[in-house]
Amino acid sequence: MISTVTVNWADVGPILPELLLISIGVLLIGLDLFSPRQRQILPWLTVVGCLTALAMIMGSRPSISFGGMFLTDGFSVFFKSICLVGVILTTLMSEHFRRIIAMPQGEYYSLLVFSAVGMLIMASAGDLMVLYLGLELMALPVYALVGLHKKENRTSEAAIKYFLMGGFASALLLFGMSLVYGLTGTTDIGRIGELINSLHLTNNPALLAALSLLLAGFCFKVAVAPFHLWTPDVYEGAPTVVTAFMSVGPKVAGFAIFSRVLFFGLPQLHDHWGPVLAVLALLTMAVGNITALCQQSLKRMLAYSAIAHAGYALLGLLAGTTEGISATMTYLFIYMFMNMGAFAILMLLATPGQPHESIEDCKGLAARSPIAAALMLVFLFSLTGIPPTAGFIGKFYLLKAAFAAGYTMTVVGAVLFSAISAYFYLRVVRYMYMTDPQQNSTLQYSPGMIVALGLCLIGVVGLGLFPGSLLDWAARALL
Amino acid sequence: MSIPLLSTLIFFPVLGGLSLLVVPRQQTATIRLMALLISLIELVLCLPVVLLFDKTTYLMQFREHLPWIKALNINYSLGIDGISILFLLLTGLIIVLSILVSWESITTKVQEFFVALLLLEGMMMGVFCATDFFLFYIFWEAMLIPMFLIIGVWGGPNRIYATVKFFLYTLVGSLLMLVGIILLYFKGGQTFDIIKLAGQAYPLKLQLLLFWAFFAAFAVKVPMWPVHTWLPDAHTEAPAAGSVILAGVLIKMGAYGFLRFSLPILPDATQQMLLPMLILSVIAIVYGAIICLAQTDLKRLIAYSSVSHMGFVTLGLFALNQHGLEGGILQMINHGIVTGALFLAIGMVYERTHTREIAAYGGLASIMPIFSGFFLLFTLAAVGLPGTNGFIGEFLILLGGFERLPWTAVVAASGLILGAWYMLWLYQRIFFNGVKEGMRDLVELNLREILTLVPMALLIIWIGLYPNALLSFLHVSVSHLLDQVNGIGLAGMALPIQP
C-alpha cells in the first residue's frame, strides 16, 4: 500500500495540527537559542500552540487520509483532545516547576511538543506502521524528558530504566505486529479484522501468539501489571512535572492505540483478550492499590495509584463494547484532571533543593495553606471515587459498562479494590487536616500553576456535577 | 409546583455553607451567628413542606424532575412521602441544635467546621428527598466527606482511628450497594427511578442477591449487629455536634434505606429474609444492652445503647405489619431526639469536666440541678417510661414483633429491662453518690445551653402524650408499603406519577 501513495495535497489538511505543533517545536528551540532573554514566553507559546492545535482538531471533519493510514474520526479527536489538554496542563505546571528544578527551557518545551505530536499520531493511526511511528515519536522525547535534570542520580537511573523497558516493550509490540502482518499480509488495522474472518484465523495459534505479544507491549506502555515494574521507579525518579505528564499523556495515548488495535482491529478475538484483560485489570488494581498502602513517599504513592487507575480504565476496554470504550475514554478524560491536580499540589510543596515528596510533608497543610489542602482534598476524593466528584462518575460508567458485558466478578473486585484505595488517599487527607504542621512556610503560587489548578478543579467538580455532555461526546465519538 | 421546595431544602444550606467561606476566618462570632441563622431559616423552610403535605395519599409529593445525565437515564428527581417527611424535620432541628452545642466547644478551624456542618445538612436532606437511586447514592456517599472531616479534625484523642474506621466501613458497604444498583438498573429496565423499579416483579434469586447487596450498605449504617463496631468508636471520638448528628440522623439513614429500597423493591426477598433480620435485630437489642453495662466511658455507653435501640427499630421494620413499621419509624425519630439530646447534654458537661470517665463523676444533682433535671427526663425517655416518646415507639414495636413472632417480642422486652438497668445505674453514678473531687466547681447550664435542650425536652413529652401528631403522617404511606411488600400493591404502583 505504501507504494501507491503519492503526494496528495488533500491529505495534508487533516495533519495540519501535527504540522503546526512540529513547527512550534522547532520554533521553541530556535527562540531558546537565539533569544535567550525571552525564555519566559516559551511556556505561553507552547500553550498557545497547543490551544490552536486543539481548536483545529475540534473543528476537523471526519476523514481518512494517506490511504487509510491516518484517520480523523471521533475516536481520534477525543483522544487527541485529552492529550493536548494534558500537555497544556503540564506546560502550565512547568512554568511553576522551573523555579524548583532548573531544566534547559527550550529543550524541555520542544521535547514536550514533539511528544505531543507523537501522541496525536498514535490517536489517529489507522495502520500498524503509523501507530509504531507515533509511539516512538511520543516515547523518545519522554525518555529525554525524564533524564533532563542531569544533576540528580535517580533521574538518570529512571531515564535509563524507562528507556530500556520502553525499548523492550516496543520490540514486543513490533514482534506482534510482524506476526500479524505475516498472517494477514496487511498492516491496515481496519483490514486486519476482515482478513482474520475471511482467512478463518480466529483460533490460529500464531495469531494468538501475536495477540499475546501485542497485549504485553501495550500493557508495558500503559503500566498494567505484571508489566508495571518500571513505573514506580521511573515515576519517582523523574522530575515531578514530568511524572505528572507521564502518568497522563503517554498513558492516554497508549490506551488510544490499545483500544484502536483491540476494539477496531481484533474484535473477533474478544473472547481471547477480554478474559485476559479482566485478570490483568484485577491484578493491576490489586498491585497498585495494595502496594500504595505502605508507601511513605507521596510521589511513589501516586505512582502506584496511577497503576491502579490503569486497571480501572481497562474495565471499559475489556468489555469490548462501544459503551465500554466510551467509558474508558470518559474515565481517562476525568483521570487527567484529578491526577494532574494531585501532582500539582505535590509540586507546590516542593522548594528549591528540597523535593518534599513524603506524605509527612503534607502534615498540617490545611493550616499552612487552606486552599491547597482543600484542592488536594477534592482531587483525592475524586481519585477514590466519592461523589459528587467526577472520579465517581467515571468509575460508575466503567463499572456499568463492564457489568453490561457480563464481567460481574471483575466489577465486584474493582469495587473492593477501590474501597482499599480509600485508605491511602485518606491518609494524605488525615495528614493535611488532622495533624499539626511541621513547618510554617506558605506555598508559592505562580500564574501558570493557578490556571492549571483552576482547570483541574473545574474538571473534577464540573464534570462531577454535569457529566452529561462529556458522556454524550464520548458516546458520539464512536458512532 | 411553582417553588421547588425540596431543592431549596437541599441547596440552601449548601450555598449558605459556601457563603461562610467569604467571611474572614478570624471573625468566628460572625461565622457562628451566620451558621445558626442559616440553619434556623432552613428549619423554617421545612414548615411549608409539613403544612402543605397531604396525609391522605401515599404518592410522592412536592415532586421535582429534571433530566440530569441523559446518556444513563439518570434524573434529578425528588419527592417525599409520609415516611421521609419526618426525617426532613428531624434533620433541620438536629443541625440547629448541633450548631448551638458547638458554640463554644469548637475553637479551632471554626469556619471549616460550620461549612462542613451545613454541607452535611444539605446532603442529608438530599438523601431523604431523592427518588432516583443514583441521585440517592450521590447524596449518601457525598455525606461521608464532611462527616469524615468532622470526626477526624474536631474529634477526641483517638479520632483518626475512629474516623477512618467509620469511613471504610461505610464505603465498603456502599460500594457493594453500588454494584447492586447497577445490577438493578439492568434488570429493572434501565432506569434508576425508584418508583418504576418498585413496580416490577423480579426473580427471587435476583432479589436475594440485591437484598444482601443493599444490606451491606444499610446494615452498616444502622448499624446492625455484627457490623456495628464502627459506631462506638465514631460516637465516642466525634465532637458533640458530630455525635448528635450521627445518633440523630446519620444512623437513621440505614433504616430509611431498608424502608425506601429493600422493602418495596425486593418484597419477596424481604419476606424470605425476615427471620435472619429479626434474629439480628434481637441480638443487637440484647447484646447492645449487655455491653452497655460494662462501659466505663459515658459516650461509649450511649453509643452501645444506640446499637440496642436501633435493634428495636429494625425489629419493628422487619415485623412487617402496621404496628411494627409505624413503631419502627416513630422510634427512629424518637431515638434521634432522645439520643441526640443525651449527646447534647454529655457534650455540655464534657466541656466543663473534659472527662468521659463515668467514675470521675458523682453528685452532680446538687451542683447542676437544672442539668440533672434535663438529663433525668432524657434518661427516662431512653428507658421508655410511659408519658415519654420512647414508650410509644417501643410499645408499638413490641406489639408488631409479637404479632409477627411472639418470642422476638419476649426477648426484646428483656432489652427494655436491661435498658432501665444501665440507664438508671448511669444516672445514679453521675448525679448521686456524693460529690466527687473536681466536680464541686462546675457551673450550671447557661441560657444558650438551656435553650438547646428545651426543644428536645418539649418534643419528648409532646410525642409521648400525643404521638398521633407524627403517626398521622405515616398511616397511608406505611399501609401502602405493606401492600407492596405483601405483593398486593403491584398494580397500584404502576399508576402514573402525579405531575
3-state secondary structure of B486: coil
- Per the model's pLDDT, the better-predicted residue between B138 and A436 turns out to be B138
pLDDT tens for B184-242 read: 888 888 888 888 888 788 888 888 889 999 999 999 988 888 888 899 888 888 888 88
3-state secondary structure of B158: coil
Which amino acid appears at position A296 of this protein? Q
Instruction: State the average pLDDT over residues B420-428.
Output: 89
- Return d(Cα B437, Cα B89) in angstroms, integer: 42
Share of chain B residues as helix, strand and coil, in percent rounded to the nearest 5: 75, 5, 20
Note whether residue B135 is domain-resident. no
**Residue B154, min C-alpha distance to chain A (Å):** 8
Among all residues of chain B, which has the CA nearest to that of A463?
B69
Indicate if the alpha-carbon torsion angle B221, B226, B232, B234 is positive or negative. Answer: negative
- Please check the confidence at residue B53 and state whether its pLDDT lies above 90: no
For residue B69, give the nearest of A366, A388, A468 by CB distance.
Answer: A468
Q: State whether B112 and A370 contact (CB < 8 Å).
A: yes
Number of domains making up chain B? 1
Interface of A with B (CB under 8 A): 366, 370, 377, 381, 386-388, 392-393, 396-397, 399-400, 403-404, 408, 411-412, 415-416, 418-419, 422-423, 426, 429-430, 433-434, 467-468, 471-472, 475
Q: State whether A472 and B70 contact (CB < 8 Å).
A: yes
**Residue A377, min C-alpha distance to chain B (Å):** 9
Q: What is the pLDDT of residue B139?
A: 92
- Please check the confidence at residue A233 and state whether its pLDDT lies above 50: yes
Longest dimension (CA), chain B: 69
Q: How many inter-chain contacts (A to B, CB under 8 Å) are there?
A: 80
- Return d(Cα B9, Cα B92) in angstroms, integer: 9
Note whether residue B349 is domain-resident. yes
Residues in chain B: 499
Helix residue ranges per DSSP H, B109-247: 110-129, 133-142, 144-154, 159-187, 194-198, 204-221, 230-237, 240-245
DSSP B398-460: HHHHHHH-HHHHHHHHHHHHHHHHHHHHHHHHHHSSSPPTT-TTPPPP-HHHHHHHHHHHHHH
Interface of B with A (CB under 8 A): 68-72, 109, 112, 137-138, 141-142, 144-145, 148-149, 152-153, 159-160, 164, 167-168, 171-172, 175-176, 178-179, 182-183, 185-186
Note whether residue B340 is domain-resident. yes
Rg (CA), chain A: 21
- Please check the confidence at residue A309 and state whether its pLDDT lies above 80: yes
Residue B494: pLDDT band (50, 70, 90) is very low
**Residue A124, min C-alpha distance to chain B (Å):** 26
**Cα angle at B276 between B270 and B277, to 5 degrees?**
60
For residue A249, CA distances in Å to A14, A20, B122 come to: 21, 19, 38
Q: State whether A434 and B160 contact (CB < 8 Å).
A: yes
3-state secondary structure of A383: helix
Q: What is the pLDDT of residue A408?
A: 87
- Return d(Cα B76, Cα B64) in angstroms, integer: 8
**Residue A11, min C-alpha distance to chain B (Å):** 35
Among all residues of chain A, which has the CA nearest to that of B180?
A412
Residue A380: pLDDT band (50, 70, 90) is very high
Residue at grid coordinates 407492596: B484
Note whether residue B255 is domain-resident. no
Note whether residue B481 is domain-resident. yes
Judging contacts by C-beta atoms under 8 Å, the chain A residues touching residue B183 are 403, 408
Instruction: State the average pLDDT over residues A369-395.
Output: 90
Q: State whether B167 and A415 contact (CB < 8 Å).
A: no
- The cell for B458 is 418539649
- Return d(Cα B361, Cα B353) in angstroms, integer: 9
- Please check the confidence at residue A50 and state whether its pLDDT lies above 90: yes
Phi-psi region of A125 (alpha: psi -120 to 50; beta: other; left: phi over 0): beta
Among all residues of chain B, which has the CA nearest to that of A326?
B71
ipTM > 0.95 (yes/no): no
Q: What is the pLDDT of residue B492?
A: 42
Comparing CA positions, the residue from A345, A338, A417, A415 lying closest to residue A383 is: A338
3-state secondary structure of B131: coil
Among all residues of chain B, which has the CA nearest to that of A464?
B138
- Going by C-beta distance under 8 Å and a sequence separation of 6 or more, which residues neighbour residue A23? none
pLDDT tens for A334-373 read: 999 999 999 999 988 888 878 788 888 888 888 888 888 8
3-state secondary structure of A64: strand
Residue A398: pLDDT band (50, 70, 90) is very high
What is the reported pTM?
0.89
**Residue A201, min C-alpha distance to chain B (Å):** 35
Instruction: State the average pLDDT over residues B391-414.
Output: 88
Residue A142: pLDDT band (50, 70, 90) is very high
Comparing CA positions, the residue from A379, A298, A294, A308 lying closest to residue A346 is: A298
DSSP state letter for A65: E
- The cell for B164 is 477512618
Q: Which domain holds residue B348?
A: 273-489
pLDDT tens for A150-183 read: 777 888 888 999 999 989 999 999 999 999 999 9
What DSSP element (H or E) covers B63?
strand B61-69
Q: What is the pLDDT of residue B386?
A: 86
- Return d(Cα A169, Cα A175) in angstroms, integer: 10
- Return d(Cα A146, Cα A242) in angstroms, integer: 6
